[in-house]
Structure 1
């Protein structure tokens, strides 16, 4: 599955930059590389966990913003605010990043087992079906990888 391949590739990229998790570039972001990784992994793990336990009774309905971002595969920088549940801790630890990365790998492998009627409600994008949710994860993760690349330039 295409989404699984992309997300797996993105996780492999996180693994290569984890040693630089403390790096910052205030011209790009007030957040560190570790913040970007931690946030992205929390999003992947949290959303897949929600998909696994979805009641499967919600009808998918994307917002205009959601449709635009998924169609263009682009999220404008600084356009959203992350919910508290996916915010990294004040102090980011290497072992925490590695553990979250391994959990994300396991969660991605579970994707085919998730009910096809599972949905995820996103604050800005609306109610997404299983396929759209994974597309969101791909777009969101790539968004943070681009920020990481800019921090490390």
Structure 2
């Protein structure tokens, strides 16, 4: 796996490489797998990474209050996010037109954001709609699982495209 010389290695490097590989399949679609095409999933994954990192950077570590979420515990323990259960918040839903250059631009931004996470306080936090308050390390786990979830969907779309 090659790393970007502009950014130190991060916990999402493998996933970023897979995203790059899937861009060539951006227009692939399979109604058996998903209502949307590969480009939508790629764009969504990157929007989630960028938006989440921005929230963590703006958070005040002094205000972090740990919380319990049964759903978070189940997802983090199993490493599995069920398909078709949650709906993406409007802020991280792709627009109707997704440009390939836009995916590459977001990829560069996401790589930069992720590499900056390491400098944040451990209590930097993010309020997830299902997982409640999650700190930096929990957020990293969420980003990994969320990205893998969509990469599996993309893989299945490509296998079964109609």
Following the alignment from structure 2 to structure 1, what is the Cα–Cα distance between the partners of residues 20 and 118?
A: 23
Give 1 or 2: higher helix fraction.
1
2:6 aligned residue: none
State the secondary structure of the residue aligned to 1:42: helix
State the Cα distance separating 1:36 from its structure 2 match. Answer: 0.4
The partner residue of 2:119 within 110, 113, 118 is 113
Query: What does 1:62-81 correspond to in 2, within 5 Å?
Result: 62-81=68-87
Query: What does 1:97-112 correspond to in 2, within 5 Å?
Result: 97-112=103-118
| Unpaired runs of at least 5, structure 2 | 1-8
2:158 aligned residue: 152
**TM-score scaled to structure 1, two decimals?**
0.95
Preserved CA contact (<8 Å) 1:62 1:128 = no
Computing the radius of gyration from Cα coordinates, the structure with the larger value is 2
Task: Report the number of matched residues.
Answer: 150
Following the alignment from structure 1 to structure 2, what is the Cα–Cα distance between the partners of residues 89 and 143?
A: 20
Following the alignment from structure 2 to structure 1, what is the Cα–Cα distance between the partners of residues 69 and 134?
A: 9
| Unpaired runs of at least 5, structure 1 | none
Name the Cα RMSD after superposition: 1.2
